[in-house]
Structure 1
Amino acid sequence: MRSSFALIATAGIIALTLSGCASAPAPETGSGDSSNAVTVTGEFGEKPRVEFPSPLEPEETQCTEVIAGEGPLLHEGQMVMLGASLFNGSTGELVQSIGYDDDAAPLAIGGDTLIAFTKGLSCAREGSRVVVVAPSEEAIKPSQDPSGAEGRESLVAVFDVQRAFPARADGAVRLSRDGFPAVVLAPDGRPGITVPNADPFETTEVEVLKEGSGAVVESGDAVVVHYTGVTWDDSKVLDDSTWKAGSPTIVTVTDDEGGQMPQGFSEAVIGQKVGSQVAVVVPPSAGFGDQGNDSVPPGATLFYVIDILGVI
């Protein structure tokens, strides 16, 4: 697995659709004196040279695009692959540099990502190099208490957005068979699932709800997915569902027992095209078996709706 932002984030300083056409996202912030004071040189995708006067302590997060990207602006719910150079904005000290030399790091925008990252990347696109400068109160996770960041150091970040994945499957809609759980999508793409009052299927059963046109997923691939899983008996949403967390994730799927997800989940994804949304009934034999786990009862049949957003 590639490097991630666990170090900086933990430190804390640093089917059927209800909606019509969604409006284009607007940036949550813009450039300012602090972000414009940062000078960045070097080739996109390579570790840059970054200079700025310290301390830089803006009152709110600022973002300046120094290399223009293409396509739509980034927004919450997307996974991106990027290079990042992170600095203490109060002292000028380099804190972390990752994602360069053909080893871009994944970052899910939204959920419990640092507030500054979510705001700052809203002015970026795929191919953008952006400078983000944030006060200590926004260089934390949304779940943290902003008052605990008062008096701490500000954050300066330079991001090279090398790849951006969509927030939801965009394939052509297909109808599912009778007796399959019904899936209705909220405006943001979140699945709502109604399980029929009937005995579950006894084998792994897959339905393609949207058929994409991208690359075909192969066994062993690391795949960007957004998914909701429920138990068949009581429709309880599983704790690891990414829509519950607020952002997609990356999982490795395999046709043997080496995958990160239940075997039935992997079976549903392997062989499908990027951009597809698939639904799968996972019996205990292809799920968590008779032992279950912390959130899945023993012997439970599961039902997943999975958006396949990209292959790393």
Structure 2
Amino acid sequence: MRSSLALIATAGAVVIALTGCTAPAPAPESSPGDSSDAVVVSGDFGEAPRVEFPTPLSPSETQCTEIIAGEGDVLEEGQMSLIGLAVYNGASGEELQVTGFGDDEPVPVTVSTSTLPGLMKGLTCAREGSRVAVVVPEADGFGPDGNPSLGVQPGDSLVFVIDVERAFPSRATGSVRLTRDGFPAVVLAPDGRPGITVPKADPFENTEVEVLKAGPGPVVESGDQVVVQYTGVTWADNEVFDSTWANGSPTIVTVADGEGSQVIPGFAQAVIGQQVGSQVGVVIPPVDGYGDQASGSIPANSTLFFVIDILGVI
């Protein structure tokens, strides 16, 4: 997983309080205005920008201006992206945080209602390869109390300059495949969230993987960091014990055959060797799961079933 610097670490504030059928692309939730157009940004994409703007900037709503044009559709809810992020106090011009540019690891953020509202609205006007300037009023920022620990006083606006280095889909995009008889049934909601029905039968004795959607992307190798969405249920009672869909964001995990893996062996086995864009279902017996130890709400000696969307390799 990736770490970020002070501002973002302090603020689940700025990354959390900051971090089938084809539907038409959603409209951006912010657009250019006098304040965002007043932000002058220079420097190459991917490198720390030089930023100037008149103070104070006081927009009535969040504004976003694309400085460098990207490609593809604008980001939408549920998408994770890797970004470079520069943050300024829009009232004073003070630099608050610059991270994710140059040799710094980019910062993973997801377009989500749990994200700072102004940042979320700004991301919806960006696309992979975009550099955007976003100006956020108090109402879409830290609210009437501000955030004095970050140098943001009540009434202060925020200015973000964001480079979207990579963008990942919110769900698997591969071609649908049929599964064998006796395998758990999976039905997808319009947003891609899986609904799972485990058969009333004894589980498989070994780890068994079925490709539900076959993706066109690169093959996942042992040791890769992978962006995934998943839902896991226990075979015995079909109860969800963990889901990135419920948490509102994909996650990044390292999958490996042995040491260094951040997931249980059966999960890693299901993902390694698959192509990005695929969705897989995997039945995991206790020996490749949590064994004879309970884990959270998972009883000891549980057989598990996961639906995993493989969205990208970092």
Deviation per residue, 1:94-116 (Å, 9 max, x gap): 11111111432221221522222
Q: What CA distance in whole angstroms lies between the structure 2 residues aligned with 1:250 and 1:62?
A: 30
Residues 75 and 118 in structure 1, CA contact (< 8 A), matched pair in contact too? no
Matched with 1:295 is: 297
Q: Size of the alignment, in residue pairs?
A: 302
Q: 2:105 aligned with 1:91, yes or no?
A: no
Preserved CA contact (<8 Å) 1:4 1:107 = no
Whether the 8 Å contact between 2:138 and 2:144 is mirrored in structure 1 is no
Partners of 1:299 and 1:147 in 2: how far apart? 51
Question: How do 1:19-58 residues align onto structure 2 when only pairs under 5 Å count?
Answer: 20-58=21-59
Q: Is the 1:231–1:238 contact (alpha carbons within 8 Å) kept by the matching residues of 2?
A: yes
1:267–1:66 Cα change, 3 Å: same
Query: Amino acid of the residue matched to residue 3 of structure 1?
Result: S
Distance 1:166 1:275 in 2: 9
Q: Is the 8 A contact 1:80 1:165 kept in 2?
A: yes
Match of 1:242 in 2: 244
**Within-5 A mapping of 1:65-214:** 65-102=66-103, 103-110=105-112, 112-140=114-142, 149=146, 151-214=154-217
Task: Tell me the TM-score normalised to structure 2 length.
Answer: 0.91
Q: Distance in 1 between matches of 2:115 and 2:302?
A: 32
Q: Which amino acid aligns with 1:63?
A: C
Residue 305 (structure 1) aligns with: 307
Letter in 2 for 1:114: L
Rounded Cα–Cα distance in structure 2 between residues aligned with 1:291 and 1:280: 20
Distance across 2 between alignment mates of 1:61 and 1:287: 46
- The equivalent residue for 1:59 is 60
Q: For residues 132-180 of structure 1, what are the alpha-carbon distances to aligned partners after superposition, in whole Å with 9 as ceiling and x for unaligned?
A: 111233225xxxxx56559253211000111111111111110111111
- Does the CA-based 8 Å contact 1:120-1:132 persist in structure 2? yes
Deviations 1:11-42 (A, max 9, x none): 4686xx5xx32121110111112111111111
- d(CA) in 2 for partners of 1:297 and 1:64? 51
**Structure 2: gaps spanning 5 or more residues:** 147-152
Matched residue, 1:143: none
SS of corresponding position for 1:243: helix
1:264 partner amino acid: G
Q: How far apart are the structure 2 equivalents of 1:287 and 1:148? A: 46
User: Which structure's relative contact order is higher, taking Cα pairs within 8 Å and 6+ residues apart?
Assistant: 1
Gaps of 5+ in 1: 141-145
One-letter code aligned to 2:189: A
Mapping for residues 5-20 of structure 1, pairs under 5 Å: 6-7=8-9, 9-11=11-13, 20=21
The 1-side partners of 2:250 and 2:161 are apart by: 23
SS in 2 for 1:116: helix
SS in 1 for 2:216: coil
2 CA distance for matches of 1:296 and 1:9? 31
**Percent identity between the two aligned chains:** 63
Q: Which whole-Å CA distance do the structure 2 matches of 1:51 and 1:173 have between them? A: 49
Cα distance, 1:260 vs structure 2 = 1.2
Rounded Cα–Cα distance in structure 2 between residues aligned with 1:100 and 1:83: 5
Give per-residue Cα distances to partners, 1:233-253, cap 9 Å, x unaligned.
Answer: 2222123x1111112111110
RMSD across aligned positions (CA):
1.9
Return 169-178 or 102-111, whichever deviates more.
102-111
TM-score, structure 1 as length reference: 0.91
Query: What is the rounded CA distance, in whole Å, between the counterparts of 1:189 and 1:287 in structure 2?
Result: 25
Specify the SS of the correspondent of 1:238. Answer: strand
